[in-house]
Amino acid sequence: MGRRRVRDLIDFIEDRQIDLVIDVGANVGQFGESLREGGYRGRIVSFEPIEAAFEALSKKAAADSKWEAHHCGLGATKGEAAIHVSELTVFSSILSLTSVASLHDSRIAVERTETIKIETLDDLTAGMTGNILLKIDTQGYEKQVIEGGQQLIARVQGILMELPIIHVYEGEWQFHEAAKFMSDAGFVPAQIQPVNYHGLDNVSLVDVDCLFRPRGRVDGPQDVER
């Protein structure tokens, strides 16, 4: 008997007929590019607060009629924040680094800070419709993004987040805390994929991509209406 094929994000997108992906923490557009390479042809709306990363992102989005880019961060409330910009900008975060962060990857070292504008998901997505996938990759700031998007998450088909196994940012939630928070919000894990392995222990994960779906009939007596 042959091995079963592992399902991935593109399978989920096709199964749920996703036609709008909201990409929070887009950096230079790597996630959007991976969607296009996987065959997704629907709309992408990306958000990125770091100036240099946004410039690269906006060029890619400008060449794609179904991809738009917005220069801001997202959080629980509107305002401003200081973001710590790492040597490798994908590691940049509003949160400070822990003492073990550099053991994972030396390029996580902070080079500078930038003052960024913070908006909320609900304010910026109020008029957006369709079968929505929300992706959040904000280096420990995912909970705050969701707190500012309560109206949006009530109508999404899935939420993809990068969640920590080893903490490299001060104050970020633990994996089990994120799972509990999402369960309380009516979501269960649909897929979990490795992201980074530790630089000093390359068989141990630092973080994972966890794709959550709304809890439904297949989950038995804990069904919630959505």
Q: What is the pLDDT of residue 199?
A: 79
Q: Is the pLDDT confidence value at 102 over 90?
A: no
Question: Domain limits of the chain?
Answer: 9-78+118-217
pLDDT-derived band at 14 (thresholds 50, 70, 90) equals: very high
Q: Are 153 and 142 in contact (CB under 8 A)?
A: no
SS3 1: coil
Q: What is the pLDDT of residue 166?
A: 86
Indicate the pTM of the whole model.
Answer: 0.91
**Alpha-carbon span 2 to 129, nearest angstrom:** 40
> In sequence order, what are the beta bridge partners of 169?
97
Q: Which fold has domain 9-78+118-217?
A: Rossmann fold (3.40.50)
**Alpha-carbon span 197 to 226, nearest angstrom:** 36
pLDDT tens-digit profile of 55-79? 999 999 999 999 999 999 999 999 9
Q: How far is CA 127 from CA 70, 123, 151, 152, in A?
A: 15, 9, 11, 10
Q: What is the pLDDT of residue 105?
A: 80
Mean pLDDT of the chain: 92
Q: Is the pLDDT confidence value at 20 over 50?
A: yes
Quote the tokens at residue 224.
């919630």
**What are phi and psi for residue 150, nearest 5 degrees?**
-60, -35
pLDDT tens-digit profile of 110-143? 999 999 999 999 999 999 999 999 999 999 999 9
Q: Is the pLDDT confidence value at 21 over 80?
A: yes
**What are phi and psi for residue 218, nearest 5 degrees?**
-70, -10
